[in-house]
Structure 1
Amino acid sequence: MKVDQKGHTITIRDTQRDFISFLMKVTHEYKTFEKHNIIIDLSMHKDLSPNDIKLLTPLSKQHKKAKKSFLIVTSDFDFNAVPVQLTVVPSLLEAHDIIEMEEIERDLGF
């Protein structure tokens, strides 16, 4: 797991290609990331199913309750199969753009 911080955003990247271990590690260490916007970078995984992505739903709900952004980056994925509670995008650039828009919305009181 590799963690990069850029401003108010932390990008967490799986470096071992083991999604379940990565998910357990992120969940276990969540308290250290909870005050930041989070991007979960799964772009190196080419074999994720919608059910795998759905396992991130509890973390996403918890993080969004705290008025922070939680995004998942993965490419080659059927984005229509993702639950509404999750924000899944195909690139890191798009993830940062969405976080910027969500921060503006929060600042405006939406």
Structure 2
Amino acid sequence: MKVEHKGHTTIIKDTIGQTADFLMKVTHEHNSFKKDNLILDLSHDKNLSLEVVKSFSTLIKLHASGKKSIVLVAQNINFNSVPQNITVVPTIQEAHDIIEMEEIERDLGF
């Protein structure tokens, strides 16, 4: 797990490719990241399934309750099949763009 801070966003990269273990570790350490927007980079896992992506929903709800964004980065997934409450994009730059838009929406009161 590699952690990088960029402004008001923390990027956490799964370096092992064991997404279930990565989810458990991020969930366990959530208090360390709860005040930042999060980008979870899962692009290292080439066998990522929709079911594994859905397993992040509890963490996403927990993080969103703190009025912060959480975006998953994955490339080998059918983006149309992902539930609406989970934001998945193919690149880290797109994740930053989504977070910036959500910050603006929160500032405007949406």
Normalised by the size of structure 1, how large is the TM-score? 0.97
Tell me the distance in 1 between the aligned counterparts of 2:108 and 2:70: 19
Q: What amino acid is the match of 1:36? A: D
Question: Is 1:37 aligned to residue 41 of structure 2?
Answer: no
Gaps of 5+ in 1: none
Deviation at 1:60, TM superposition (A): 0.5
Q: CA RMSD in A?
A: 0.8
Distance 2:56 2:102 in 1: 19
Instruction: Provide the residue aligned with 2:4 in structure 1.
Output: 4
- In structure 1, the residue matched to 2:72 is 72
| 2:58 counterpart letter in structure 1 | P
Tell me the number of residue pairs that the alignment of Structure 1 and Structure 2 aligns. Answer: 110
Which residue of the partner structure matches residue 85 of structure 1? 85
* Residues in 2 aligned to 1:107 and 1:98: alpha-carbon distance in whole angstroms: 14
Kindly indicate whether residue 44 of structure 2 is the aligned counterpart of residue 50 of structure 1.
no
Mind listing any 5+ residue stretches in structure 2 that lack a counterpart?
none
Asked if residue 24 in structure 1 is aligned to residue 40 in structure 2, the reply is: no
CA distance in 1, matches of 2:59, 2:35: 13
CA contact (8 A) 2:48 2:76 kept: no
Q: Which amino acid aligns with 1:97?
A: D
Alignment-derived partner of residue 100 in structure 2: 100
Structure-2-length-normalised TM-score: 0.97
Please give the secondary structure, in 2, of the residue aligned with 1:48: coil
**Identity over the aligned pairs, expressed in percent?**
55
Shift of 1:19: 1.2
Once the 2 structures are TM-superposed, how far is the Cα of residue 76 of structure 1 from its aligned partner?
Answer: 2.2
Partner of 1:63: 63
- Which amino acid is the alignment partner of residue 18 of structure 1? Q
State the 1:84 CA deviation. Answer: 1.1
Moved over 3 A (4+): none
